[in-house]
Each structure stands twice: as structure tokens, then as C-alpha cells.
A = this chain, B = another copy of it.
Amino acid sequence: MRVGIIGGGQLARMLALAGYPLGLEFTVLDPAQDACASVLCEHICAPYDDPNALSQLAEKCDVITYEFENVSLEALEVLAETTAIRPPLTALAKSRDRLKEKTLFQELEIPTPRFLAIDSHQDLETAPKILGWPFVLKTRQFGYDGKGQHVIHHRKDMEDAWNSLQGQPLIAESFIPFQREVSIIGVRNAHGQIIFYPLSENVHKNGILHTSRCRLGDSQTRPAEVLATRLLDRLDYVGVLALELFEINGRLLANEMAPRVHNSGHWTIEGAETSQFENHLRAILDLPLGTTEAVKHTAMVNFISVLPEPTDVLELPGVHLHTYGKTERPGRKVGHATIRAADNKILDIRLHHLLALLP
């Protein structure tokens, strides 16, 4: 069986590493000659929406999946007539547009920050009246790792943000002074079976995920699962889905979803009986799902912009290095490490040592 992946970055790379032991083979579509999955997968080097490249991918592969949301929906819709694309394109269509996504959350009674569409400067004038100060102005599409987002504290910020973002479809959301960010990662198969990983607690820095920690027995697990289940069922979803949530005063508010394997689930490679990557492949190929139970206590640290010295990382007990084979560049995710320990106290110590290696 051959799996086609749109995008040849680190998520595709980790999908392939999880899939070879299952006897799968992989072809990635990525315009970058040095796409980091290309060293271990067949590589079609072409734009993501190149019709010839896409039909070449479809011809070679038994199923097509994607590693990021900013794919041309129109191009994939043509492909979907002849080839299985999983997760379903309805999920992609919702998740790639923050307004559609939040509207879906609302329909499913999944609590979210208050929001409104901003199509004009007049809409923007209305925003603080409805949302209060501060609020957040975001592009509806193509945002990731905090890109295309402005926190607006006063009128001057508002005009600066407008000058920077106008001309694109926008959304304004109330600013949530959350106590913490969590994500729930679930996997659903074509028969409607759903299982969840333990809750991840996430810390972002400069809009980019910095650490995730698997929180066994967290009291927000069940509430988060209930919300994610509504999404998975409504979308008739197949594969792994991540739902990011803010916790404020004991309540969960949905921030966004990702219809794919997710950075906050990288700890599952060593920390869960079956990783999110393997379970995504199992789901899209209609193989039995693997158990998601935690193996030990686990946390994950992202390496942003630069890698620490590998020797220093490998010297730490219980630490597992994952480099992506990408050129270092400011703000770029170039690797991560998973830390595993028998209890949370040892995990804290190991995490402390690992964080001390970051520049």
C-alpha cells in the first residue's frame, strides 16, 4: 500500500517513519527540492496545486492525506472524485478558514471566544464595542504559528493592524486571558470508532508551540473529549484530529482545530502505546486503531530556529531527539525532543535539564 502526502515537511517525515514498519510506502508532493521528508520518501517536486502532479500522486497511491491545511481545496476536490482523500475535505474546508471553523464550533455548541467577521473598516470599528478591549484580529486563512494575528489594545493598534492585514478576509475574536492552553487529540475510523490520547497541556512562545506535556488523569480530559467528539462525528471524520482549547476559570473555549497529526501530539511517539502518526495511518487505511494509553509520563520540547548540540541532548537520560533535517532559520521548527520518566517529579527534573540547553 502506498500513501500519498501533500506536503513533505516534518509531519510527512514522521508519518513515513511510523508507516514503514506497517509495510507502507510513501510519496510526498512538495515544491521544495529539499523537503525534509524527501530523504526517506518518493518525492514529486511540484506546486501543491499542480494538476499533473496531483493526478500523478493519485495514480501511484492508495490513499492521499495532507500534512497542513493551506492546500488548494479546488484541486483536491477534483482529485477526490477518483481517489480516497482522508481526512475528508469538509474538515479541511472548515479548518482552513477561521470564520467557517468558529461558525461550525458554534453550530455544535462548542464554546468559543466571541468572534465576528471583519470585511470592512466599519466592521472593525464595531469590534471593540462587541468584544471589548483588548481583542484579536486575525486573517481567516493561511495563518500558522501565530502568523497573521494582532492583539489590539487600543485604537492605534487597530489602525496599524488594519494597515497590515486589510485586503484579506479577517476575523476579530475576544482576547482570552486564559489560565492554560490544552489540546485533545482524537482518532476516528471510517466505522465511527473514536479514541483519544491523554490531554496535552501546551505552552506557546511568540505564537509558536514551545512545550507540550501529557497530563494523565486531567479533569478537563472528559469535557475536551465531549467537544471533540461532536466535531469528529459531524465531519464524518477519518484520521487524527487535534482540537486546541483555552481553559479559563474552569471552562474550555475552542481556539482552533487541525485536521491532521499535530505538534502537541509529538510526545505520543515515545509516550503512548501507539503514536498519533501510526494511528493516523491506521485510520486512513481502515486498519484497526491502536491503543492510545500512555507508556510513562511524557513531555515534548520544540526546537525553534536552531537545534541544541545533539551530543548535549543525547546525554540526558529519558530524552529522545527528533531532528527534521531542515536548514536552521529564525522561527522555523527544526526538531523536538520527547522526555519520558516514571513519575512527574523525575520528568520535571529532566525537563529542566533539557530546557537549559536551549539558546
* Residues of A that sit less than 8 Å from B by CB: 13, 16-17, 20-23, 25, 39-41, 273, 282, 287-288, 290-291, 295-296, 307, 310-311, 314-315, 317-318, 320-323, 325, 335, 340
CB-based closest 6 A-B pairs? A23-B323, A288-B315, A40-B40, A21-B322, A288-B314, A291-B317
What residues on B are CB-neighbors of A21 within 8 Å?
17, 320-323
Does B295 contact A20, Cβ atoms closer than 8 Å? Answer: no
Which of B22, B311, B323 is close to A321, meaning CB atoms less than 8 Å apart? Answer: B22
Nearest chain B CB to A281 CB, angstrom units: 11
Q: How many copies of the shown chain assemble into the complex?
A: 2
- Considering the chains assembled together, what is the distance between the CA atoms of A317 and B22 in angstroms? 15
Which of B311, B325, B335 is close to A288, meaning CB atoms less than 8 Å apart? Answer: B311
What residues on B are CB-neighbors of A322 within 8 Å?
21
What residues on B are CB-neighbors of A307 within 8 Å?
23
What residues on B are CB-neighbors of A310 within 8 Å?
22-23, 287
Does A311 contact B287, Cβ atoms closer than 8 Å? Answer: yes
- Considering the chains assembled together, what is the distance between the CA atoms of A291 and B318 in angstroms? 7
CB-nearest residue of chain B relative to A23?
B323
16 of the cross-chain contacts (CB-CB < 8 Å) are A13-B20, A16-B40, A20-B39, A20-B325, A21-B322, A21-B323, A22-B321, A22-B323, A23-B307, A23-B321, A25-B39, A40-B41, A287-B314, A288-B311, A295-B295, A295-B296
Which of B20, B282, B335 is close to A40, meaning CB atoms less than 8 Å apart? Answer: B20
CB-nearest residue of chain B relative to A337?
B21
Which of B40, B41, B288, B317 is close to A273, meaning CB atoms less than 8 Å apart? Answer: B317
Which of B20, B22, B311, B314 is close to A290, meaning CB atoms less than 8 Å apart? Answer: B314
